[in-house]
Amino acid sequence: MTNALKPGATIGILGGGQLGRMLSMAAARLGLKTHIFEPAANPPAGDVAHRVTTAGYDDIEALKTFANSVDVITYEFENIPTEALDIIESLRPIRPTRDALAVSQDRITEKAFLTNLGITVAPYAQIDSLPDLTAALKTIGTPAILKTRRFGYDGKGQARITDISQAEDALKALKGAPAVLEGFVNFTREVSVIAARGIDGAVVCYDPGENVHKDGILDTTTIPATLAAGQHMDAILLAGKILNALDYIGVMGVELFVTDSGLIVNEIAPRVHNSGHWTQNACVVDQFEQHIRAIAGWKLGDGQRHANAVMTNLIGDDVLDHANLEGALHLYGKAEVKPGRKMGHVNQISPKA
Ligand code: AMP
């Protein structure tokens, strides 16, 4: 392919967490280097990357030096300040593009984008005040979930409302941040599709995984998900539709609710995704290599799985038992164990069913 990166080239990654670490390891296997840009000291990705810049997203000089030192820029989280992107964008290509980031950074923009594509989302309303919220609760009904429009992750920035009398407290819990009210979806299960799109427009989707959350954080992903054949195909088709609409380059995670009346998209993440970690041990080409291949302008790899898999996250103290765990162990090298902190994961695989 034209303009494809050659081995020895450098990929810039915004963010130095575990996703940046596993992207760096995949890049190294392909003969590519990574340069991590991360405000916090000693990031997990720093142990395995070629180079690390420790600087804030408001450090214009550091951003310029970073961008000038790499061939292409990608990111491992979506909440990168717009001003930082403005600076680096003129220097190097950003993949996936800023459109994908803009859509996924704001829950209202995301839902409007998906609705326009004919994809179903939970009933929702924009909330900027208490009158907005009481009016929306009357039309959407309870139970409902109030979420911040931006910067939410792992169930943070959310308040469940079971009765209209809780409206004021729910708004206070979100500290006045712009919000969205979502109707509560009575889902039978949660699944996600990890999908990739190459520079040539080719799309490769991994089989959907079934996700179970604990305290708002992903606990396990099981493959295959329990899905009727029609739902399996619907999940893959709608992921492909989203990628094409964004002219996307890279890997995306699409989180779905399965209901009796069809699939509902919860959210999209324009990056490699925790619910795709199972691909490391059950596929020839995992989500990390696939993302690197896509942003390097290489042909996508084979996303077929050769095994069934269960991925279990190691959250907080779970990691203390690491030496005794069965399965393929992936630790993130984080020095400090904290409650709710993702410390690693284990992939258990079994013959493909
Ligand atoms: P989110 O941060 O939006 O991915 O939400 C975290 C988790 O909260 C989801 O994975 C669901 O388990 C649950 N959740 C979020 N939104 C809804 C909804 N509208 N209806 C039911 N459950 C939800």
pLDDT digits 0-9 by tens, 58-114: 999 999 999 999 999 999 998 899 899 999 999 999 999 999 999 999 999 999 999
Please report the pLDDT score of residue 1 as a whole number: 56
Q: Helix, strand, coil proportions of the chain in percent (round to 5)?
A: 30, 30, 35
pLDDT band at 180 (very low <50, low <70, confident <90, very high): very high
Residues 16-70 pLDDT 10s: 999 999 999 999 999 999 999 999 999 999 999 999 999 999 999 999 999 999 9
Please report the pLDDT score of residue 216 as a whole number: 87
The response to whether residue 210 sits with its C-beta less than 6 Å from ligand 1 reads no
Which of the residue ranges 74-83, 145-154, 221-230, 341-350 would you say has the lowest mean pLDDT? 145-154
The response to whether residue 253 sits with its C-beta less than 6 Å from ligand 1 reads no
CB 107 within 8 A of CB 121: no
Q: What single string gives the DSSP state of each residue in 49-82?
A: SSEEEE--TT-HHHHHHHHHT-SEEEESSS---H
Distance between CA atoms of 240 and 236, rounded to whole angstroms? 6
Please report the pLDDT score of residue 18 as a whole number: 98
Give residue 163 CA to ligand 1 midpoint distance, Å.
Answer: 18
Q: Give Cα 143 to chain centroid, integer Å.
A: 26
Give residue 53 CA to ligand 1 midpoint distance, Å.
Answer: 34
Residue position matching structure tokens 């990056």: 271
Amino acid at 243: L
The response to whether residue 182 sits with its C-beta less than 6 Å from ligand 1 reads yes
Give residue 242 CA to ligand 1 midpoint distance, Å.
Answer: 20
Q: What single string gives the DSSP state of each residue in 129-176?
A: SHHHHHHHHHHH-SSEEEEESSS--TT-SEEEESSGGGHHHHHHHTTT
CB 331 within 8 A of CB 344: yes
In this model, does residue 209 exceed pLDDT 60? yes
The pTM of the full predicted model, rounded to 2 decimals, is: 0.96
In this model, does residue 154 exceed pLDDT 90? no
Amino acid at 89: E
Residues 240-294 pLDDT 10s: 999 999 999 999 999 999 999 999 999 999 999 999 999 999 999 999 999 999 9
Give residue 310 CA to ligand 1 midpoint distance, Å.
Answer: 21
The response to whether residue 185 sits with its C-beta less than 6 Å from ligand 1 reads yes
Please report the pLDDT score of residue 151 as a whole number: 81
> If you take atom 17 of ligand 1, which residue's CA is the nearest one?
184
CB 73 within 8 A of CB 98: no
Domains and CATH numbers, the chain: 10-94 (3.40.50.20), 123-183 (3.30.1490.20), 189-351 (3.30.470.20)
Angle at 251 between CA 284 and CA 330, to 5 degrees: 55
Distance between CA atoms of 91 and 107, rounded to whole angstroms? 29
CB 223 within 8 A of CB 282: yes
Measured between alpha carbons, how far is residue 100 from residues 8, 94, 227, 292 in Å? 28, 11, 28, 17
Nearest to 134 by CA among 114, 161, 100, 173: 161
pLDDT band at 232 (very low <50, low <70, confident <90, very high): very high
In this model, does residue 3 exceed pLDDT 90? no
Pocket probe for ligand 1: among 266, 274, 313, the residue whose CB has the most ligand atoms within 8 Å is 266
Distance between CA atoms of 125 and 127, rounded to whole angstroms? 6
Residues 233-246 pLDDT 10s: 999 999 999 999 99
Distance between CA atoms of 153 and 53, rounded to whole angstroms? 25
The response to whether residue 77 sits with its C-beta less than 6 Å from ligand 1 reads no
Give residue 266 CA to ligand 1 midpoint distance, Å.
Answer: 7
**Backbone torsion region of residue 201, taken as left when φ is above 0, otherwise alpha when ψ lies between -120 and 50, otherwise beta:** left
Nearest to 260 by CA among 188, 320, 206: 188
SS (H, E, C) 78-138: CCCCHHHHHHHHCCCCECCCHHHHHHHHCHHHHHHHHHHCCCCECCEEEECCHHHHHHHHH
